């Protein structure tokens, strides 16, 4: 047995791009930023914030929902699986992209003005219902 599951909570980095195919199917894609907060060690060494950027892809009806309700800066919860794809760019250079093919989306409340967001603690038993 194998498992390919990703759970992310972060901020949408750019407005979602939504495309419709001739079949009527929609695909939405955008970037999501997740940040580990920095800290200062006891010896005075400062470890800065570390932000990772993730490529998120939604298909079908949920992509249409993304188009209506998800915007740059929104804080969201996403579940999905990792997918890798390769292509040759305009200069003929071979590129590989890692994307999260997401199947679950939850909009999270925005923090009040000036309030720093609290990262959700790592908890193996954490479920989507815990984030509501």
Tens digit of each residue's pLDDT (9 = 90 or more) over 15-38 = 999 999 999 999 999 999 999 999
**Cα–Cα distance list, 83 to 14, 55, 67, 99 (Å):** 20, 10, 22, 5
Q: Is residue 77 part of a domain?
A: yes
Residue 56, in any domain of the structure: yes
Looking at per-residue confidence, does 132 or 68 come out higher? 68
User: Is the pLDDT assigned to residue 76 strictly greater than 50?
Assistant: yes
Low-confidence winner among 6-10, 65-69, 111-115, 125-129 (lowest mean pLDDT): 125-129
Q: Is residue 22 part of a domain?
A: yes
The pLDDT of residue 127: 42
Residue 16 lies in a domain: yes
- 82-97 per-position pLDDT tens digit: 999 999 999 999 999 9
Q: What is the pLDDT of residue 62?
A: 96
pLDDT value of position 52: 95
Segment 50-61 shows an average pLDDT of 96
Beta strand pairing call for 94-107 and 50-59: parallel
Write out the residue range of the structural domain in which residue 69 sits: 6-131
pTM of the model: 0.78
Number of domains the chain contains: 1
Q: Is the pLDDT of residue 113 over 70?
A: no
Q: What is the CATH number of the domain that holds 45?
A: 2.40.50.140
Q: Is residue 65 part of a domain?
A: yes
């Amino acid at each position: 047995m194998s498992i390919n599951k990703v759970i992310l909570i972060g901020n949408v980095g750019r407005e979602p791009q939504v495309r419709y195919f001739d079949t009527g199917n929609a695909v939405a894609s955008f970037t999501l930023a997740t940040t580990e907060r920095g800290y200062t060690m006891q010896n005075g060494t400062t470890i800065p914030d570390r932000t990772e950027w993730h490529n998120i892809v939604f298909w079908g009806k949920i992509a249409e929902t993304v188009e209506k309700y998800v915007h740059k800066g929104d804080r969201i919860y996403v579940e999905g699986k990792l997918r890798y794809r390769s292509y040759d760019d305009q200069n003929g250079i071979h590129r590989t992209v890692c994307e999260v093919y997401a199947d679950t989306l939850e909009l999270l409340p925005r923090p009040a003005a000036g309030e720093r967001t609290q990262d959700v603690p790592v908890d193996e038993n954490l479920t989507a219902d815990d984030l509501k």
